[in-house]
Structure 1
Amino acid sequence: MNLTDSDKAMLDGAEGPAVAAAMDLLVRYGRALDAEHLCDVRNVAGTMTQPSPAKARLVAEGGWDKAYAVLNLDSDGDFAIPDMRVPTCQLQQSFGPDAAGIAPHPAHDLVQLQSDAESFYGRKGVNILATCTPYQVGNIPVRGEHVAWMESSAVVYANSVLGARTNCEGTASTGAASLTGRIPCWGNHRRANRLGTHHIKVRTRVTGALDWGMLGYFAGDLVQEERPVISGDLGQPDLLDLKHFGAAAASSGGVEIFHLPGITPEAPTLESAFAGDTVPEAVPYGADERRAVYEDLNSQGTRTDVDFVLLGCPHASLDQVRDTARLLEGRRLNSGTQLWLMVPRALRTTADRNGWTAVIEAAGARVMTDSCPAMSRTAPPGTKVFATDSAKQAHYLPAILGIEAWFGTLADCVEAAVTGRWKGELR
């Protein structure tokens, strides 16, 4: 790899052993990827504070510095961790305090471990956003900015909707980037790797979160880890639509960037999404394909009794919280059904002030922060069947928890929570 003088100085220890370990990791990582050099990053979204038995052992042995060295730098070194060199945020972690007595919580010592971690890393310059949607709560990189983010739905949103540049990084690479402001320049950091590879032509109107999620699920399954370009009969999407589209595409496949000509920033036209090259023959997405995706997502449900309704994956926007409150106002959940709405804690504060949380909780539902059932691998005790408006959760949670899934609109899900039965259908 071609290292700058600054890179070499960090590698040689000029900024201390922790930074040297971070640069050593990045050099090894870059060489494994055949990256020619590193690039500057000014924005990191990673994981430092989530509790685990392994982290508890490391903290007991050598404190938080040791835990960061081992888990975030792949190093056995015994050294102090300096302040983060570049702005860094914590993504989702374990459930927050508002889940006490509601979610099957980890042991008390792990709850305390997370609180201690937040205090330690907060002092080191980590913003404890604790959400898979950092772009909803102030972390919004600009077009063309190189960043180092984890979490598949956050990565695809950053690349596609914001026009920032990141690969789907890991705990160690983001930990090293936080201390150096550098990351291997490969993959999505390079313009040639951001161009479209497949063209999907939409022939049936796509509007609303349900349809955008299903289209994303279709696109991801089709292209796997490549880059879809979607044109045709598309309604104007909003943040919620694009959030659901990207999360679904990253679940059924491994999509990290997509283009919607005339909507997303790097594709003003269909031709520009392919850099002026010949546009590939279009794969159609029409009524038959739409129906097939819906049936696929609902193929894991056989029983119509619903124990659990999960909303907010990726974490809910304020619009979703408002709409949930409107649908629940004056109603009560079925006695055998729980509803959890997952939101960023910063947005919960706004929802509280707007009165939406009170309406939702008066119906017997819960607004919770910091994590989700897939991340924490937990659901209400006894759950056998759940319903969700997220194609991502319908894809993952049955495999993670061994439960059945129903997928539908927000209204379908709220109705299931109130009646205890699934009645959703494709309209």
Structure 2
Amino acid sequence: MQLNDDERAMLDGRDGAAVQRAMDLLVRYGEALGASRLVDTNNVCGTVGATMPFLRDYAATHGGLDAVFSEFNLDSPEVVEVPKAKVFSSHLQQGLDPQHARRQGIDGEIVKLYRQGEAFTGRLGIQPLNTCAPYLTGNVPVRGEHCAWMESSAVIYINAVLGARTNAEGRESTGAAMLTGKIPYWGLHLDENRGGTHLIELDVDVKTVQDWGLLGYYVGECVQDRIPVIDGLRDVPNLPKLKHFGAAAASSGGVEMYHIVGQTPEARTRDEAFRGRKPLETIRYGAAERRIAYERVNTTAKDAQVDFVMLGCPHYSIEQIWEVCQLLEGRRIGTNTELWIFTARATRQLADQAGYTKLIEDAGGVLMTDTCSAIGRVMPKGTRVVALDSAKQAHYLPAIMGVQAWFGTTADCIEAAVSGRWNGGLAA
């Protein structure tokens, strides 16, 4: 890999042991990928805390958060003192909501570790956005901006919808990027790798958030880690719809970018979306394919009695929280069901000010922040059957938590929270 003078100096230890370890990691990473050089980045989203279940014991037995960062962010065999981040860096979701830790079954020692992590990230200058959707809370990269982001649903959103450039990075590469402002120049950072590969021709209207989740789930299964181009769309999708589409496609497949002809910034025409190349395959998506996607995403669901309704994957926008409040108006969550809604901390503050949080609580629900059930492994004790409006969460939660999962509309989920039973279905 070719390094410039500044990069070589970091690798040689000019800026201290932690930066040296970070540059060494990036060089090894880049060479493994076949990257010829590094590229500057001033927008990094990753995780550095220790509230995730697999890190809690390590932090307690190996010397705290510098040790966690050294091992899990820098791949360093020795503990190094971590300096301030060199570039703008944001923290993604955590393993718990400290305000509702007891309800999530989290003990006080773990909350204490969370608070230590907040102080640690503050010392490093990492912004505590604590969300899987940083673009909802002010981190909105511009077209062509080179970023280093984790979180599959966020990666696909900024690549496709915003036209920014990132690969799906990991904890190690983002940790190293925070300290160096560098990331390997490969994959979706390069123009030639951003063209579409598969054409998806729509033969059915795609209007609701559920429709977009099902389309994403089907497309992800079909194209895996390639780049689909959607054509035939009749309506302009809003942020929640694109958020759910990308999250679903990244979960059922490994999609990191897509194009919508006439909608997304690098697809003014079909020819531009494909960079002048012909599609490898044309896939029709109609009513039958939508039905197939619905049945696949609901494959674990058997029992109609619902214990738990989880909304907010990816984290809910203020618009979606408002929608829930409208659906809950004059109603009450059932005595044997719990409703948890997850959002970013900044969005929660807006909901507090608007009175939405109180409306949800008065109905028997809870608005939580910083995490979700899949990331934190948190749900009400004894949960067997979950209702969700997220195809991504329906894909992962049964495997992670051993539960049955129903996927439907937000209205279906609120109805299940009130009645305790699943009556949702696929609209014609």
TM-score bin (small chain) = over 0.9
In the alignment, what sits opposite 1:338? 338
In the alignment, what sits opposite 1:87? 88
Residue 184 in structure 1 maps to residue 201 in structure 2: no
After superposition, the C-alpha distances for 1:140-173 in whole angstroms (9 at most, x for unaligned) are: 1111111100011011111111111111111111
8 Å contact from structure 1 (residues 311, 340) kept in 2: yes
In 2, Cα distance between the equivalents of 1:281 and 1:37? Answer: 33
Q: What amino acid sits opposite 1:158 in the alignment?
A: I
Q: 1:293 to 1:154 in 2, by over 3 A?
A: same
8 Å contact from structure 1 (residues 202, 234) kept in 2: no
Q: CA deviation at 1:60?
A: 5.5
8 Å contact from structure 1 (residues 201, 231) kept in 2: yes
Q: Secondary structure at the match of 2:233?
A: strand
Q: 1:336 to 1:65 in 2, by over 3 A?
A: same
Q: CA deviation at 1:302?
A: 1.1
In the alignment, what sits opposite 2:405? 405
Q: CA deviation at 1:281?
A: 5.0
In the alignment, what sits opposite 1:203? 203
Q: Secondary structure at the match of 1:207?
A: coil
Q: Secondary structure at the match of 1:24?
A: helix
Q: What amino acid sits opposite 1:65 in the alignment?
A: D
Residue 42 in structure 1 maps to residue 42 in structure 2: yes
In 2, Cα distance between the equivalents of 1:44 and 1:63? Answer: 23
In 1, Cα distance between the equivalents of 2:225 and 2:42? Answer: 26
8 Å contact from structure 1 (residues 271, 279) kept in 2: no
Q: 1:78 to 1:252 in 2, by over 3 A?
A: closer
8 Å contact from structure 2 (residues 229, 273) kept in 1: yes
In 2, Cα distance between the equivalents of 1:14 and 1:30? Answer: 21
In 2, Cα distance between the equivalents of 1:421 and 1:190? Answer: 49
- Output aligned runs, 1:4-403, within 5 Å: 4-51=4-51, 52=53, 54=55, 57-58=58-59, 61-105=62-106, 107-280=107-280, 282-403=282-403
* Residues 277-286 or 187-196, more deviating: 277-286
After superposition, the C-alpha distances for 1:348-405 in whole angstroms (9 at most, x for unaligned) are: 0000110111111101011000000100112111111111100001111011111111
* Residues 76-85 or 151-160, more deviating: 76-85
Q: What amino acid sits opposite 2:411 in the alignment?
A: A
8 Å contact from structure 2 (residues 50, 65) kept in 1: no
Q: Secondary structure at the match of 2:45?
A: strand
Aligned residues: 426
In 2, Cα distance between the equivalents of 1:425 and 1:116? Answer: 45
8 Å contact from structure 1 (residues 55, 67) kept in 2: no
Superposed CA RMSD? 1.3
Q: TM-score, normalised by structure 2?
A: 0.97
Q: CA deviation at 1:277?
A: 2.1
Q: What amino acid sits opposite 2:117 in the alignment?
A: A
Q: What amino acid sits opposite 2:97 in the alignment?
A: G
After superposition, the C-alpha distances for 1:70-98 in whole angstroms (9 at most, x for unaligned) are: 12101123432111000111100111222
In 2, Cα distance between the equivalents of 1:264 and 1:365? Answer: 36
In 1, Cα distance between the equivalents of 2:68 and 2:398? Answer: 32
Q: Secondary structure at the match of 2:316?
A: coil
In 2, Cα distance between the equivalents of 1:136 and 1:50? Answer: 24
Gapped regions of structure 1 (runs ≥ 5)? none
After superposition, the C-alpha distances for 1:284-326 in whole angstroms (9 at most, x for unaligned) are: 1001111111122222111100000010000001111000011
In 2, Cα distance between the equivalents of 1:394 and 1:78? Answer: 39
Q: CA deviation at 1:279?
A: 4.3
Q: 1:59 to 1:303 in 2, by over 3 A?
A: closer
Q: 1:378 to 1:213 in 2, by over 3 A?
A: same
Q: Secondary structure at the match of 2:332?
A: coil
In 2, Cα distance between the equivalents of 1:132 and 1:54? Answer: 19
Q: CA deviation at 1:117?
A: 1.1
In 2, Cα distance between the equivalents of 1:211 and 1:332? Answer: 27
8 Å contact from structure 1 (residues 59, 66) kept in 2: no
In 1, Cα distance between the equivalents of 2:169 and 2:402? Answer: 28
After superposition, the C-alpha distances for 1:71-128 in whole angstroms (9 at most, x for unaligned) are: 21011234321110001111001112222332122x3212111111111211211001
Q: 1:34 to 1:233 in 2, by over 3 A?
A: closer
Q: 1:190 to 1:62 in 2, by over 3 A?
A: same
8 Å contact from structure 1 (residues 168, 256) kept in 2: yes
Q: What amino acid sits opposite 2:82 in the alignment?
A: I
In 1, Cα distance between the equivalents of 2:280 and 2:54? Answer: 50
Q: CA deviation at 1:273?
A: 0.7
Q: CA deviation at 1:181?
A: 0.4
Q: Secondary structure at the match of 1:313?
A: strand
Gapped regions of structure 2 (runs ≥ 5)? none
Q: What amino acid sits opposite 2:349 in the alignment?
A: T
Q: Secondary structure at the match of 1:339?
A: strand
In 1, Cα distance between the equivalents of 2:255 and 2:55? Answer: 31
Q: What amino acid sits opposite 2:120 in the alignment?
A: F
8 Å contact from structure 1 (residues 360, 367) kept in 2: yes
* Residues 244-253 or 56-65, more deviating: 56-65
